[in-house]
Amino acid sequence: MANRRSFLQSALGLTAGLFTTDKLLAATPQGQAEQLKKRRNKISGPVSNAPVVTPDVGDLPFTMDGYVKVFHLIAQVVEQQIAPGKKIHVWGFNGSAPGPTIQVTQGDRVRVIFDNQLPEPTSIHWHGFEDEIQYDGQPAISQPPVKPGERFIYEFNIHQEGTYFYHSHMAMQEMAGMLGTFVMHPKEPYRPHCDKDFAINLQEYAVLPSNTVPNTMNMEFNWLLLNGKSGPATTPLIVRLGDRVRVRFVNLGMDHHPMHIHGHTFYTTGTEGGRIPEAGWWPGNTVLVGVAQSRTVEFVANNPGDWMLHCHLPHHMMNQMSSNVGKMTRVGTTGMPAGVDMNTGMGILQGTPGAPLGDDYGTSLGRGQGFGSTADMATTNGPLSDPKAKDAMKATQQGSGQNMSGMNMGGMQMGDMKSDVAPNAGDVPNFPQDAYMEGPMMAMDKMVERPENFGLSSGWSQFMQGMMTFVRVLPPDKYDEVIARMKQANRPNDPYASILNRG
Ligand SMILES: [Cu+2]
C-alpha cells in the first residue's frame, strides 16, 4: 500500500511539486505572504497550550509528588546585572528578580515550598488567587510571618486560568524586587491558538549614586526594567513571520506603564482576572498596565522587521533617568560643567572654588545625571565630551560588571570620534535633549551581544534604554538562523528552551 502510494505520488509529481512550491514561495515576498496565509489558516486547527517564555528570567522547575506539582521557591538576595556596567543587589527568588515564572494548568494541585533566606520576616501573597485564606500570604493575618531561615508551605487547587503573580506582601520588599509571574494555563486551550506566548514583568528601581541597592522609599525611579533588564540588555522576543503571539505584562511597581508595540495592532485578551470573552477584546497598539494589574495582548506577527515593544512614558525610556539640560551642561563661556560628583555638581562648599552655588559650577540638572561613580556615566544618555567619554569608557571597562553571564564586556564600540551635533549647538536654547552621539559613539552592541540580537543593524543599542525591547518578526530563513544560533549557544536554563526544543 505504502509503496503504491509513493509510486502514485511520484508519478503525479506530488512530492517533488510540494517541495519545489514551498521553496519557490519562500523566495519572494508574495510567496512569503502566501505561506503566512497558510500558517494563519492553521490557527483554527487542533490546539494545545504553548509554554510561556519569560526572556531573561525563565521558569521555576517542579517535581511531582503523586498528583501534586511541587515547586521550591527561595527568597534571597540576588546580585543582578541590569545593564552594561550596572550591577545591583535586589531581593528576588531562586537567583533572579523578578523570580522565575511558575506555570501550571487549570485543575492542577500545586504545592509551593517556600524558604526565606532573607534577613527579615516575609511571606508570599498569591495575587488574584481564589483560594483558601490560610494560603493568602498576608503576614500576621492569614499566616505567621515566615522568619529568616524558616519555611512555609502553600497548597492550591488551581481552578482559575490566566496571568497571575506572586509577591511579598511587605511594600518595601516588593520594591526591592520580590515578584514573579504565575501562569495558569486553561484546561481547554484558548482559541485562536498562539504559536508564541511571552511574559514580561515591569519593574522600576531608584538606585542612588554609588549605591548597589535600590532606595525603596524613593519615588524618583532611574532604572526601568523589563524582566530585570534595562535596554539594551533586554533580550528580544523572537517570533516567526506569521506566528500568532501572546504577550502577558505584569506590573508591580509604583507607576502605570503604557506598553506600546510598533508595526502591529494587538487585541487585549486578558486581565489579572483571566481571559476576556472574545466579544470584549479591544484593539490597540498601546495597553495601559496599571499597578497590580496584568494585561494580556495577542496579535498576528504579519509585518516583518525588528519592532520596538516599550513603555511609552518618556522617562521610562531612559537609563539613569539622565537629562542633559540647557547651557549649564556646557563648559567655558557658554556654560558650566555638569556630570561631576555630587559635591562639585551641587556646588557644595569644599574649598576650591570655595563658594556654595558659585559661578564655577552648575547643578547637575535632571535626575541623577552624572552623580556618583564614573562607571555609571557610560550608561546614561552619553558623555558630553571626548575626554569625558574616554574616562567613562575606561571606568566601564575596568568596572565590576565585566564578567556577567551572557554578555561580552570586551569593550565599548568606539565609533568615529566626530561629533554629530551642530557646531553652534551650545548656543541653541534647550540643547541638548537627546544628543547621544555628542562625543564618540557609545553603542553597546558588542557588550550585549547574544544570539537573539543577531542581525540587528549596527549601533542599535545606542537608542535602546529603560523599558524597551524588540519583537523581532523574522521571515523563515532569518528565523531559522537566529534559532540555530540560540540552540548552538546551549545555555543552561535557557528561558527559550521550550521553543528551541520544539525545533
Ligand atoms: Cu513605564
CATH code for position 135: 2.60.40.420
Most distant CA pair in the chain, distance? 98
pLDDT exceeds 60 at position 436: no
Q: H-helix or E-strand containing 301?
A: none
Tell me, yes or no, whether 137 lies in a domain.
yes
Distance 375 CA to ligand 1 centre (A): 25
Distance 176 CA to ligand 1 centre (A): 17
Euclidean distance between CA atoms 284 and 298, whole angstroms: 10
Same domain, 334 and 251: no
Cβ pair 262, 494 in contact under 8 A = no
Which range, of 128-142, 316-330, 365-379, averages the lowest pLDDT? 365-379
Identify the CA nearest to 104 among candidates 60, 48, 57: 60
pLDDT exceeds 50 at position 358: no
pLDDT exceeds 70 at position 220: yes
Distance 202 CA to ligand 1 centre (A): 8
Q: How many domains does the chain have?
A: 2
C-alpha torsion sign, points 87, 92, 98, 104: positive
pLDDT exceeds 50 at position 272: yes
Same domain, 278 and 385: no
98 preceded by cis ω (within 30°)?
yes
Same domain, 103 and 183: yes
Tell me, yes or no, whether 41 lies in a domain.
no
pLDDT exceeds 90 at position 285: yes
* 458 or 75: which leads in pLDDT: 75
Same domain, 284 and 366: no
Give the pLDDT of residue 435.
Answer: 60
Tell me, yes or no, whether 264 lies in a domain.
yes
Residue range 10-16: average pLDDT? 38
Domain that holds residue 108: 62-318+474-502
Distance 224 CA to ligand 1 centre (A): 7
Hey, which of 15-29, 246-260, 306-320, 341-355 has the most confident mean pLDDT?
A: 246-260
Q: Which pLDDT tens digit goes with each residue over 244-258?
A: 999 999 999 999 999
Same domain, 174 and 257: yes
pLDDT exceeds 60 at position 125: yes
Tell me, yes or no, whether 281 lies in a domain.
yes
Distance 127 CA to ligand 1 centre (A): 21
Tell me, yes or no, whether 395 lies in a domain.
yes
Contacts with 21 (C-beta within 8 Å, 6 or more apart), sequence order: none
Distance 166 CA to ligand 1 centre (A): 21
Euclidean distance between CA atoms 370 and 357, whole angstroms: 17
Same domain, 293 and 151: yes
Same domain, 302 and 335: no
State the amino acid at position 343 in one-letter form: N
Mean pLDDT of the chain: 78
Tell me, yes or no, whether 270 lies in a domain.
yes
Euclidean distance between CA atoms 456 and 385, whole angstroms: 27
- How much of the chain exceeds pLDDT 90, in percent? 56
Same domain, 238 and 301: yes
Residue range 33-48: average pLDDT? 58
Same domain, 260 and 357: no
pLDDT exceeds 70 at position 333: no
pLDDT exceeds 60 at position 156: yes
Same domain, 349 and 309: no
pLDDT exceeds 50 at position 458: yes
Distances (CA, A) of 215 to 176, 177, 184: 8, 11, 33
Euclidean distance between CA atoms 311 and 60, whole angstroms: 26
Strands 468-474 and 237-240: parallel
Strands 109-116 and 294-300: unpaired
- For the chain, what is the total number of helices (H) and then of strands (E)? 9, 21
Residues, the chain: 503
Same domain, 335 and 423: yes
Joined grid coordinates for residue 462: 545606542
Distances (CA, A) of 439 to 85, 100, 322, 428, 468: 19, 40, 16, 18, 24
Euclidean distance between CA atoms 343 and 99, whole angstroms: 38
Identify the CA nearest to 302 among candidates 470, 474, 456, 453: 474
Euclidean distance between CA atoms 275 and 192, whole angstroms: 13
Same domain, 229 and 357: no
Around ion ligand 1, residues with a beta carbon closer than 5 Å are 257, 311, 313, 316
Q: Which pLDDT tens digit goes with each residue over 84-97?
A: 878 899 999 999 99
Distance 478 CA to ligand 1 centre (A): 31
Q: What are the residues facing 69 on neighbouring strands?
A: 64, 110
